[in-house]
């Protein structure tokens, strides 16, 4: 659901790369038909037509997951990460960099679903099965008799966490009921704001000591959409780039809805050229409305990397964002 208050969003790159992607996963079988690893989806209940939703998008352990009228917000978008063979996935909410869709223990019939730190595979691995009617059943891999279920047709809330709370989402013994079946609809990973002017150009001004890497970053986006990002000293609606110094904060760069793009010299000075370019491409991506991705090959991966050219998902997201500028 949409946030009720206006907040200034600062978006950062974390310094500490966690090699989750590379460890402990053997890929040897097929993923689920019709679903693509690392794509971002709306997950829609067959019975209610409402969207799987993290309550207010609050990025905290235990935040309730419910169903809500579709509104395009990040709290209704989820990345599928194919974890291992046989259609088993982690499901990551776009509103969090570190949390996963999770069953609030105990792992039993009618237990509520929330988001939690990505550290409990039994409660967080889901086996997704495609039905002959085209819908999907999302089963808890730990106990596949339990399936993701939404109660009724109302919007859910934050505190109604029982199996009969209006609009709550929980796991229950699968019976084939419509409220235990879901559809997946690919959706772009977008923020709710951007720094793009009304004529669909991102104008910028200001200075950074990483100007050559920043120029490469601009070129890499403009290679996707020629002329998209333009330096200007005169256009009224423009983003301002600058550097700042903040030791040990984990923040490499930040972009704000107020129109600033900043690079932290504390980290950037020690970085390779590719890492600096990555930071510049990434922050420009935020300015273009792009949200974080779970795929390390994306320039919008939530942690700093050496990737500096938009991949196919980044391009798709940009083209979707362009429709809204
Ligand atoms: Zn970021």
* pLDDT above 70 for 261: yes
Architecture of domain 29-186: Trefoil (2.80)
Class of domain 202-324: alpha beta
| pLDDT per residue as tens digits for the range 15-34 | 443 333 444 444 445 688 89
Q: Which pLDDT value is given to residue 7?
A: 33
Q: Please report how many Cα atoms fall inside a 13 Å half-sphere around the Cα of residue 128, on the Cβ side.
A: 27
CA 296/CA 304 separation, integer angstroms: 9
- CA 23 to centroid of ligand 1, rounded, Å: 23
| C-alpha of residue 310 to centroid of ligand 1, in Å | 14
Burial 125-142 (b: 16+ CB within 10 A, else e): bbbbbeeeeebbbbbbbb
**Distance (Å) from CA 8 to ligand 1 centroid:** 14
> Residue 6 has what pLDDT?
37
Q: Above 60 in pLDDT, residue 274?
A: yes
| Domain ranges within the chain, ordered by starting residue | 29-186, 202-324
Percent of the chain with pLDDT over 90: 86
Q: What is the pTM of this model?
A: 0.89
Strands 182-186 and 40-45: antiparallel
CA of 301 to the centre of ligand 1 (A): 8
**Confidence at residue 21, expressed as pLDDT on a 0 to 100 scale:** 40
CA of residue 10 to ligand 1 center, whole Å: 9
Cα–ligand 1 centroid distance for 78 (angstroms): 17
Q: Residue 86's pLDDT is what?
A: 86
């Amino acid at each position: 659901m949409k946030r009720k208050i206006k907040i200034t969003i600062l978006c950062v790159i974390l310094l500490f790369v966690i090699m989750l992607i590379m460890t402990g996963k053997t890929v040897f079988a097929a993923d689920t038909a019709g679903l693509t690893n690392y794509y971002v989806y709306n997950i829609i209940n067959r019975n209610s037509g409402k969207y799987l939703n993290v309550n207010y998008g609050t990025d905290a352990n235990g935040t309730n997951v419910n169903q809500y009228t579709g509104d395009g917000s990040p709290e209704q978008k989820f990345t599928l990460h194919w974890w291992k063979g046989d259609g088993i996935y982690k499901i990551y909410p776009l509103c969090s960099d570190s949390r996963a869709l999770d069953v609030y223990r105990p792992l039993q019939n009618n237990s509520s679903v929330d988001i939690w730190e990505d550290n409990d595979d039994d409660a967080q691995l889901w086996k997704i099965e495609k039905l002959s009617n085209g819908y999907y059943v999302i089963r808890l891999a730990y106990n596949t008799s339990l399936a993701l279920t939404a109660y009724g047709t109302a919007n859910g809330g934050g505190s109604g966490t029982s199996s009969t709370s209006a609009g709550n989402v929980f796991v229950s013994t699968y019976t084939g009921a419509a409220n235990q079946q879901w559809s997946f609809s690919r959706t772009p990973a977008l923020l709710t704001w951007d720094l793009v002017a009304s004529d669909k150009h991102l104008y910028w001004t200001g200075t950074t000591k990483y100007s050559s890497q920043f120029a490469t970053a601009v070129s890499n986006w403009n290679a996707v959409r020629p002329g998209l990002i333009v330096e200007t000293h005169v256009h009224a609606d423009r983003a301002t780039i600058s550097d700042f110094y903040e030791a040990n904060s984990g923040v490499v760069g930040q972009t704000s809805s107020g129109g600033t793009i900043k690079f932290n010299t504390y980290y950037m000075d020690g970085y390779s050229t590719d890492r600096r370019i990555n930071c510049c491409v990434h922050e420009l991506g935020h300015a273009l409305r792009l949200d974080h991705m779970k795929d390390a090959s994306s320039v919008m991966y939530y942690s700093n990397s050496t990737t500096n050219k938009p991949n196919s998902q980044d391009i798709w997201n940009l083209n979707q964002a362009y429709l809204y500028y």
